[in-house]
Amino acid sequence: MKSRAARKRMMPLRSWLLAVMALLLLPLGGCGFVDIDKRFFVVAVAIDKSGSEQKPYRITLRLSIPNSKIEPGMEKSQVETIEAAEISEGVRRIKALLDKELDLGHCKMFVLGKKLSHDDISDAVDWMVRRRDIQGSAYVAMAGSQGYDILQKMPLSERYSGNSLFLTFGGDGTRSSYIRTEHLFDLQRRRTEKGMDPYLPVIRTTGNGYEVDRLALLDKTKVRTILTPEETQLFNQLDQQYVNSIIKTKLDGHPIILTATDISSRYTVSSNGILKMKVNIAGAIEEAPNNVFNQDWGELQKMFERDLEKDAMALFQKIQKAGVDPFGFGLRYRATHLSSRAYQEWLEIYPRLKFEIQAKVKIQGTGLIK
């Protein structure tokens, strides 16, 4: 009887609590989610120098338009561009040109114009990093001319807007030893870390698509030098141990191409200003004269080793002359020399650093059966 009476006394209290909770829900706003048909998905952003002192930036957005058919050549996109004094201002002014809300959460490609990259990328990268709706895994590249031209190009093979660029840098489509991918989080790390410098792949337009086979090397703010396609491939081989790449030599004036299936490299940096690197490459000959099967493979391996050491030395000296450190040699020096002045010592050592490269090449086959 007592428990039944207690339950009866509790019922009015519960009713009052429910009523108070219902009243508290009234001032709450509705859901902030915008329907998908009322949004423009930004798939790529380009930032260029406009040439104007009052409005120095030219911001270009490539917007994806939803399409029921996903077929090559059927993608629909819209490109909007505007000049502004600040990047954030330009993005908001573009909103005034559209009838839908901009969504940067799916943006995976940022292209910096050539003039901007040779001047100063700091403001552009800071804006990307500060925006909470921009992914740190987004790809960043430099345009061979203007970023606007890259976004205007719409290859016929695209299944949806921006797909060609995503496949190029994501590794889901083409996998080339001439392509070096750079993510936003790594670019920011290289800009702020002592002992390593940033780089950006260079995108150029072709008749029906894009060409990405060069690499721009930067100090903390701007481009210092650009690697050729051959130097870019060698950079990838030495830094990433990129397989399915090639090395070359010549036999009696005829080129011999070896496809690398296994690459490893390691190096040490000493306090006396000497960097020693060992590179091991194994692979099969892909292109050569018909008589290569009867040649002394040991002599061929020495020829490959000499040319590889020569090319690597030229690459290191070019990078050193530009005053940049994309390999992160300085970071290795700081990690192996525990001193409060380690970084200052490295800045003094690097301009006069000497390189000693030892290459070891092993031919696993000639691609022929005798």
pLDDT digits (tens, 9 = 90+) for 92-114: 999 888 888 888 888 999 999 99
C-alpha distances out from residue 329 to 49, 58, 283, 335, 355, Å: 32, 36, 27, 10, 12
Asked if residue 178 belongs to a domain, the reply is yes
Asked if residue 289 belongs to a domain, the reply is yes
Confidence class for position 241, pLDDT limits 50, 70, 90: confident
Domain termination residue (choose one: 197, 227, 257): 227
> Phi, psi (5° rounding) for residue 79?
-110, 125
| 182 pLDDT higher than 70 | yes
Q: How far apart are the first and last CA of the chain?
A: 103
Q: At what angle do helices 329-336 and 342-349 cross, to 10 degrees?
A: 140
- Same domain for 236 and 127, yes or no, is no
- Same domain for 198 and 128, yes or no, is yes
- Same domain for 248 and 201, yes or no, is no
- Same domain for 40 and 87, yes or no, is yes
- Same domain for 308 and 347, yes or no, is yes
Asked if residue 29 belongs to a domain, the reply is no
- Same domain for 211 and 233, yes or no, is no
In 109-163, beta strands by DSSP E: 109-112, 139-143
Averaged pLDDT for residues 286-303:
82
User: CB-based burial of residue 5 (10 Å sphere; 0-12 exposed, 13-18 middle, 19+ buried)?
Assistant: exposed
Q: How many domains does the chain have?
A: 2
- Report which of residues 39 and 213 the model is more confident about: 213
Asked if residue 320 belongs to a domain, the reply is yes
- Same domain for 79 and 58, yes or no, is yes
Asked if residue 18 belongs to a domain, the reply is no
Confidence class for position 216, pLDDT limits 50, 70, 90: very high
Q: Give me the CATH number covering residue 335.
A: 3.30.300.210
Distance between CA atoms of residues 324 and 226, nearest Å: 11
- Report which of residues 327 and 337 the model is more confident about: 327
SS3 content of the chain, % helix, strand, coil (to 5): 35, 30, 35
- Same domain for 336 and 190, yes or no, is no
Asked if residue 10 belongs to a domain, the reply is no
Mean pLDDT over the full length of the chain: 88
| CA atoms within 13 A of residue 310's CA, in its CB half-sphere | 9
- Same domain for 50 and 177, yes or no, is yes
- Same domain for 91 and 110, yes or no, is yes
Distance between CA atoms of residues 137 and 108, nearest Å: 7
Asked if residue 305 belongs to a domain, the reply is yes
Identify which of 233, 248, 234 has the alpha carbon closest to the alpha carbon of residue 283: 248
Domain termination residue (choose one: 227, 256, 283): 227
- Same domain for 199 and 278, yes or no, is no
Distance between CA atoms of residues 311 and 241, nearest Å: 16
Sole residue written with tokens 């790390």: 189
Confidence class for position 73, pLDDT limits 50, 70, 90: low
- Same domain for 221 and 355, yes or no, is no
Residue pair 339/261 in contact (Cβ under 8 Å)? The answer is no
Query: The whole model's pTM is what?
Result: 0.86
Asked if residue 20 belongs to a domain, the reply is no
Distance between CA atoms of residues 247 and 229, nearest Å: 13
The contacts of residue 31 (CB under 8 Å, 6+ apart) are none
For 133-179, what is each residue's pLDDT tens digit? 999 999 999 999 999 999 998 887 777 777 888 888 987 878 899 99
Domain termination residue (choose one: 227, 246, 274): 227
The boundaries of the domain holding residue 67 are 34-227
